Structure 1
């Protein structure tokens, strides 16, 4: 069976806390070496000449791995849109770009607390003005994603079977 190129597997620590998202190749390597076991599959199988293996969607390590503090995820266009659920912070519509609340031309920095998702129309209307100058308000205070949101910021695959393992 041909594999979709974008398929990823959620890797859990032995304590069932999410660690990262790995490629299918890495997932199969972990299972075949006995370092992880398959918790969730979608029924498809991977075949080689001598063995077959269920396609892993969620893996659990057999031994606990201590993970040091994670480095903060940078506020890129993709990660900001993900944090704000692709919704414009100003009108609530679909967002396709990001906006600096305090414009960079006025000393604003490119950091989580100053960047929000925005639609092109609102971004253009706001331009380099401050919110109070045009009578707008933010419905939330922009913050850096923490915990699982930061972990998933690097993943573009939304796998429904992962939801049970990603509850906060």
Structure 2
């Protein structure tokens, strides 16, 4: 049985509102005309022969079954290539601050500037899970707004779950 037999696979014809530069995967934002309020949505291409699209959907479904906070994924095809779509989870009145920006502000001598981080990902040895979790534990970063019960969870706990 193929994943296409279990879930609707949307064929996207939308053009990119803008390309997303963060991360290693090719992706873009678009306005989903089928959603309420034409919600801004991310399409992330799967790398060929990796199953990244169905593995993201599997992880989402496991989180759903376990009652864990998660983003919603739908499998889609754009220009003949598989990927996943995910709605923007950042409230329009909020600003997303990337973790590497916070780590640089916290320790500019040890951690590279964000622009250097994106240009030289392979050289950044100070970007570790331990460092990120320690920063989240000690900072005043709040968990995002969510439909899930995050009462009593700090930013580090939410980061680990999501």
TM-score clears 0.5: no
Which of the pair has more CA radius of gyration?
1
| Structure with greater proportional strand content | 1
Higher relative contact order (CA 8 A, sep 6+): 1
| TM-score (norm. length: structure 1) | 0.19
| TM-score (norm. length: structure 2) | 0.20
